[in-house]
Amino acid sequence: MESQLTADAKLYIGIDIHKRSWKVHCSTDLFYCKSFSMSPEPEQLKAYVDKHFPEYEVSTAYEAGCCGYYAHRCFESYGWHSLVVNPADIHRKGKERFTKTDRIDAQLISRELKDGRLNSIHVPDMHREALRSLFRRRNDLVKDFRRIKSYIKMQLLYFGIKVPEQYDNDHWSHGFRGWLDDMMFQYPIAKASLDSRMRHFRFIDEDLRLVSSQLRAYCRKHFKKDYYLLRSIPGIGGIVACGIISELGDLRRFNNVKHIAGYVGLAPGVYQSGANNKTMGITPRAHRLIRSYFIEASWQAIRTDPVMQSYYRKHTGKDSKKIIIKVARKLLCRTLAVIKTETPYEIGVIE
């Protein structure tokens, strides 16, 4: 009696990716193989698979991190099934929670992949990934801008210099900048320190303005429809719209509000056991950057949209931070509705 193959042989590869090396663990649908280290080059892994596992149906998985999606795209080009997974989604049991090595991580990824318990995160196309890099560069510049302003004010405070009342606010007018330039100290080295910080301030300010303009111009040109749909919503300005387009991608991929709220992190955490049922605040699992943008946009929305303002005032008496989260969730609902229906927002129409 001749034996016949009834199914394709399957190979599951778990990879712990780092800058200088990869730790790889292979397992088939029948047995486990060895773990080994290799150079961070997808071509070497393909050569290994072609040599030792020809004719196998290959699936790979690795944790999302600083190495991005280059390896994923290479694996997909080889005809392999590839997943990029959230590290928090990899189940650890027993002592695995207290023992961590690259080898163990690769084995866990391979095991979870083989058991079918892994789901891939959303991998953006290269176009949106490039746009995302510029948007995140802008956020880095915003942090640097706030930092250098704090350093300058710190130096004034240290030397006991009081800022004039008309300049004592977050907006640094040309008058305030001129006042800083004309300031004199008893010793010139203190003035040299301030001048150095002012040069740094002006460099970041100019770069921030340039990057912001490039972001808005690019989205107006290449994502015109979605950009202007988002801009029609009170509270969402040009930069927030660019952030939504670059970080969330095409909102049409989300099935419903619950889906996108869970992704952004504007969903409640719930603890239920028997008769005990309580909420734990918003979930810690979130796209923190976009969640912060939606919360900031909500403060603007309650100033410009009477409907949002009425919704905010309806909860007066509660913690304002909790109320603004509710407003942000409502703003997120409107955002999804506007994109799904491709209809500009009108006050009092979309609730």
Alpha carbon distance 9, 335 (integer Å): 45
Residue 305, pLDDT above cutoff 50: yes
Residue 3, pLDDT above cutoff 60: no
pLDDT band at 299 (very low <50, low <70, confident <90, very high): very high
Q: What are the structural domains, with CATH classification, of the chain?
A: 10-115 (3.30.420.40), 126-222 (no CATH), 226-341 (no CATH)
- Residues 317-327 have pLDDT tens digits of 888 888 999 99
- Res 2: pLDDT: 57
pLDDT band at 267 (very low <50, low <70, confident <90, very high): confident
Cα dihedral across residues 55, 61, 67, 69: positive or negative: positive
The overall average pLDDT reported for the chain is 91
Q: For the whole model, what pTM was predicted?
A: 0.88
Residue 219, pLDDT above cutoff 60: yes
- Residues 158-207 have pLDDT tens digits of 999 999 999 988 889 999 999 999 999 989 999 999 999 999 999 999 99
- Choose between 348 and 247: higher pLDDT: 247
Q: Per-residue pLDDT averaged across 35-42, rounded?
A: 94
pLDDT band at 83 (very low <50, low <70, confident <90, very high): very high
Q: Long-range CB contacts (< 8 A, 24+ apart) of 182-189?
A: 185/159
- Res 212: pLDDT: 97
pLDDT band at 350 (very low <50, low <70, confident <90, very high): very low
- Residues 92-116 have pLDDT tens digits of 888 778 888 999 999 999 999 999 9
- Res 98: pLDDT: 85
The answer to whether 234 and 310 are in contact (CB under 8 A) is: no
- Res 296: pLDDT: 95
Q: Per-residue pLDDT averaged across 52-56, rounded?
A: 91
Share of residues in the chain with pLDDT > 90 (%): 78
Residue 46, pLDDT above cutoff 50: yes
